[in-house]
Amino acid sequence: MVNIGRREFITLLASATAWPMAAPAQGKLPGVGWLNVRPRVRAAASEGLVEGLRDAGFVEDQNLVIEYRSADDRFDRLPALAAELVERKVSLIAAPGGMAVAAAARDATSTVPIVFMIGSDPVELGLVRNLNHPGGNLTGVAYLNVEVAAKRLELLHKLVPEAKSVALLVHRENRLEPRSRFATRKPR
C-alpha cells in the first residue's frame, strides 16, 4: 500500500471492482456495496467511485448496481449495514470511511473483497498482514494521518513557535481510530 490521491484511489477501486464482476449470476447485475458512516449524501468520493467505474466500463443502473449504505454518523449501525450488503451478495464492498467502516465490513465477511481507505496504519490495526501483500479479502489505501501527526505538530511549532497549546478535534464515538499515539510526542 502506498500513499495515493483521490483519483488513484478511485482507479484502484474501479480495478478491484472489475474482477469479481466478470461473471455475475445470470440475469442479475453485479453489485458494489458503498459503506460509509457519513450522512446519506452522495459526496465527491461516491461520485468519484461512479466516475472511476464508468472509466472501467461499468455504468450505474446499466451494467452495475451500487448499493449505498450510510450509518448517518452512528457508528453502532455499521455492522448491520455491512451484513446487509453481504446478504445482498455484492461483488465488492467499498469502505472509504475510516477504520470503523473497514472493521465492520471485515467482520461481516471473509469472502467478499473489501477496498478501504483509512488514515492509520492498516497493519497495526489488524486489517491486513503487511502493506506489500495484504492477504485475505481486504486491500486499500492508508494515508497515515496518525503517523504524520507528530511531524505536522513539529511544522506548526516551527511556523508559530510562540503557540503554547494546540487543540485537536476528534470524533469521540469512533473508538477504533487510534488518537493518543501522537498526543504525548513533543516536537524535535
Count of structural domains within the chain:
1
C-alpha cell at position 143:
494515508
pLDDT in tens, 22-31: 444 455 788 9
188 is a domain residue: no
pLDDT surpasses 50 at 136: yes
38 is a domain residue: yes
The torsion angles phi and psi of 31, rounded to 5 degrees, stand at -125, 145
pLDDT of residue 173: 60
pLDDT surpasses 80 at 168: no
pLDDT surpasses 90 at 138: yes
Mean pLDDT, the chain, as a whole number? 79
Establish how many alpha carbons lie within 13 A of residue 8's alpha carbon, considering only the half-sphere containing its beta carbon.
10
**Residues 67 and 81 sit within 8 Å (Cβ to Cβ):** no
64 is a domain residue: yes
176 is a domain residue: no
159 is a domain residue: no
Q: How many CB atoms lie within 10 A of CB 80?
A: 12
- Domain span holding position 99: 6-145
CATH number (domain holding residue 79):
3.40.50.2300
pLDDT in tens, 68-78: 999 998 999 99
pLDDT in tens, 85-131: 999 999 999 998 888 999 999 999 999 999 998 888 899 888 999 88
Predicted TM-score (pTM) of the model is: 0.69
Its sign, for the CA torsion 144, 113, 63, 83, is negative
Nearest-angstrom CA–CA distance, 125 and 10: 23
pLDDT higher at 148 or 160: 160
Q: Work out the pLDDT band at 188, boundaries 50, 70, 90.
A: very low
162 is a domain residue: no
Q: What angle do CA 104, 75, 112 make, to 5 degrees?
A: 20
Q: What is the mean pLDDT of residues 59-65?
A: 89
46 is a domain residue: yes
173 is a domain residue: no
Q: Work out the pLDDT band at 146, boundaries 50, 70, 90.
A: confident
